[in-house]
A and B are shown apart, each in its own frame.
Chain A
Amino acid sequence: MTPFIRQRGVVAPLERNNVDTDQIIPKQFLKRIERTGFGQFLFFDWRFSEDGTPKPDFILNQPQYRSATILVAGENFGCGSSREHAPWALEDFGFRVIIAPSFADIFYNNCFQNGLLPVTLPASDVARIFDLARNETPLSLEVDLEKQTISSETGEFQTSFSIDPERRRKLMQGLDAIGETLLLTDAIASFEGNHDLPLLPHNL
Chain B
Amino acid sequence: MGSQTLFEKIWHRHIVHQDTPDQAALLYIDRHYIHEVTSPQAFDGLRQAGRRVRRPDLTMAVMDHNVPTSDRSLPIRDAIARRQIEQLEINCREFDVPLWDLHHPSQGIVHIIGPEQGFTQPGMTIVCGDSHTSTHGALGALAFGIGTSEVEHVLATQTLWQQKPKTMEVRFRGRRPEGTTAKDMILALIRHIGIAGATGHVIEYTGDAVRSLSIEERMTLCNMSIEAGARAGMISPDETTMEYLRTRPYTPKGTEFETARAHWLSLATDPGAQFDRVVEIDLEDLAPMVTWGTNPEMNAPITATVPDPDQEKDPVRASMMRHALEYMGLTPGTALNAIPIQRVFIGSCTNGRLEDLERAARVIDGRRVADGVRAMVVPGSGQVKREAERIGLDKIFTAAGFEWREPGCSLCLGMNDDILSPGERSASTSNRNFEGRQGRGSRTHLVSPEMAAAAAIAGHLTDVRTLSTEVPS
Q: What is the interface of chain A, defined by CB distance below 8 A to chain B?
A: 16-18, 20, 22-23, 26-28, 30-35, 45, 50, 74-76, 79-84, 87, 102, 104-106, 109-110, 113-114, 164, 166, 176-179, 181-182, 184-185, 187-188, 191-192, 195, 197-202, 204
**Min CB–CB distance B189 → chain A (angstroms):** 16
Q: Which of B155-163, B341-349, B396-404 contacts A (4 or more CB under 8 A)?
A: B155-163
Q: Are B16 and A84 in contact (CB under 8 A)?
A: no
B78 adjacent to A191 (CB under 8 Å): no
Q: Looking at chain A's contact residues, is the secondary structure mostly helix, strand, loop, or mixed? A: loop
Beyond A106-B147, A181-B159, A191-B16, is A80–B434 a contact (Cβ under 8 Å)? yes
Which residues on the B side are within 8 Å of A178 (C-beta)? Answer: 45, 49, 51, 152-153, 156-157
Q: Which residue of B lies closest to A33 (CB)?
A: B40
Task: Report the minimum CB–CB distance from B291 to chain A (whole Å).
Answer: 14
Within 8 Å by CB of B44, from A20, A33, A79, A192, lies A33
Question: Which of A30, A33, A83, A188 is in CB contact (< 8 Å) with B159?
Answer: A188
B253 sits at the interface (CB 8 A): no
Can you report 15 A-B residue pairs in the complex whose CB atoms are below 8 A from each other? A23-B434, A23-B436, A31-B78, A31-B80, A35-B45, A80-B434, A82-B130, A84-B41, A114-B149, A178-B49, A182-B157, A188-B26, A192-B28, A199-B57, A200-B57
A110 touches B66 (CB 8 A): no
Q: Is the interface of B mostly helix, strand, loop or mixed?
A: loop
Could you tell me the distance in whole angstroms from the C-beta of B430 to the nearest C-beta in chain A? 12
Taking a contact as CB atoms under 8 Å apart, the answer to whether A22 and B38 are in contact is no
Which of B45, B100, B157, B435 is within 8 Å of A181, CB to CB? B157
Set of chain A residues within 8 Å of B440, measured between Cβ atoms: 26, 45, 50
B437 within 8 A of A: yes
Tell me if B196 and A35 are in contact (CB < 8 A): no
4 closest cross-chain pairs (CB), A and B: A113-B149, A84-B147, A33-B40, A110-B147
Known interface pairs A181-B153, A184-B17; A204-B98 also in contact (CB < 8 Å): yes
Q: Which of B199, B320, B432 contacts A105 (CB 8 A)?
A: B199
**Which residues of B, 1-42, contact A by the 8 Å Cβ criterion?**
13, 16-17, 23-24, 26, 28, 30-31, 37-38, 40-41
Q: Are B434 and A22 in contact (CB under 8 A)?
A: yes
Q: Quick check: B60 and A184 within 8 Å, CB to CB? A: no
Q: Would you give the shortest CB distance from B39 to chain A, in whole angstroms?
A: 9
Number of A-B contacts defined by CB within 8 Å: 181
Residues of A close to B100: CB separation below 8 A = 204
Flag if B145 contacts A106 (CB, 8 Å).
Answer: yes
Q: Please, how many angstroms separate the alpha-carbon atoms of A27 and B80 in the complex?
A: 13
* Chain-A contact segment, one of B81-89, B176-184, B273-281, B358-366: B81-89
A114 to B152, CA, bound (A): 13
A76 to B136, CA, bound (A): 25
Interface: B351 (CB within 8 A):
no
Q: A188-B158, A188-B159, A191-B28 are in contact. Are A18 and B57 (CB under 8 A)?
A: no
Contact across chains for A105 and B436 when beta carbons are under 8 A apart: no
With A113-B150, A204-B100 as given contacts, are A197 and B434 in contact (CB-CB < 8 Å)? no
Q: Which residue of A lies closest to B199 (CB)?
A: A105
Q: How large is the interface on B (under 10, 10 to 19, 20 to 34, 35 or more residues)?
A: 35 or more
Chain B residue numbers with a CB within 8 Å of A81 are 130-131, 413, 432
Query: In the docked arrangement, what's the CA distance between A184 and B414, Å?
Result: 41
| B44:A31 contact, CB within 8 angstroms | no
Closest B residue by C-beta to A199: B57
B459: Cβ under 8 A from any A Cβ: no
List of A residues within 8 angstroms of B415 by Cβ: 27-28, 30-31
One digit per residue, 1 when the CB lies within 8 angstroms of any chain A CB and 0 when it does not, for chain B 110-123 equals 00000000010100
Cβ contacts under 8 Å, B59 to chain A: 200
A166 to B320, CA, bound (A): 36
Contacts of A31 in B (CB 8 A): 37, 66, 78, 80-81, 83-84, 415
- B244 interfacial by beta-carbon distance below 8 Å: no
* Bound form: Cα–Cα A88–B239 in Å: 44
Shortest Cβ gap from A106 to chain B (Å) = 6
| A182 closest partner in B (C-beta) | B157
B229–A76 contact, CB under 8 A? yes
Give the distance in Å from the alpha carbon of A80 to the alpha carbon of B320 in the complex: 17
Cβ of B252 under 8 Å from chain A = yes
Q: Are A22 and B435 interface neighbours, CB within 8 A?
A: yes
Q: Which one, B51, B98, B131, contacts A80 given CB within 8 A?
A: B131
Q: What are the residues of chain B within 8 A of A45 when measuring CB–CB?
A: 435-436, 440
Interface string of B173-200 (1 = CB under 8 A from A): 0000000000000000000000110011
A104 with B199: in contact, given A22-B434, A200-B60 (CB under 8 Å)? yes
**Contact in complex: A18, B196 (CB < 8 Å):** yes
Q: Does residue B148 face the partner (Cβ distance < 8 Å to A)? A: yes
Instruction: Identify B200's interface contact among A18, A105, A113, A192, CB under 8 A.
Output: A105
- Of all chain A residues, the one with the shortest Cβ separation from B123 is A196
* Assembled-state Cα–Cα distance A87/B30 (Å): 27
Are B295 and A20 within 8 A (Cβ)? yes
